[in-house]
Structure 1
Amino acid sequence: MAREPEIKHGIFSKPLPEILDDIEAAAADARKAADEARTAGERAADDVMRRLRKLFLTMAKDITEELSDGKK
């Protein structure tokens, strides 16, 4: 008795060009997601740098005022 092979995965029922199209679409989605993540990371880094710059300038101003008050 010859048994027919069981189809365990639906991917075996698709033709190769269709599988390749699916892979290409998934790769494009992954590239888009990576680009969005990179852009979000850059925006977050810019925000952190703005906050640090503002904090540094405030600290420098406070130190300068303290030093000039001490000389008077």
Structure 2
Amino acid sequence: MRCAPQPSDRTETGPLPGEPFETGRVFERRVDRYGRIPVRAHRYSAPLTLAGSLATDRRRHSSANAVPAR
């Protein structure tokens, strides 16, 4: 069941900030020697050149996007 927005909801929210912000959770994971990154009960592949390094796992809406950590 979906509820329609109420007029009072609109007055309580403010404008979005001018700078970008993260909308999900960010984790740092170590890439194993096989080039895999463990995320929950799954393993995702990464370039073998990243083996042993940290990768950033950004989760948005139950998805995982692994990118090299800076």
TM more than 0.5 = no
Which has the larger helix fraction? 1
Question: Of Structure 1 and Structure 2, which has the larger fraction of its residues in strand?
Answer: 2
Q: What TM-score comes out, normalization by structure 2 length?
A: 0.20
Q: Tell me: higher relative CO, structure 1 or 2? Use CA pairs within 8 A at least 6 residues apart.
A: 2
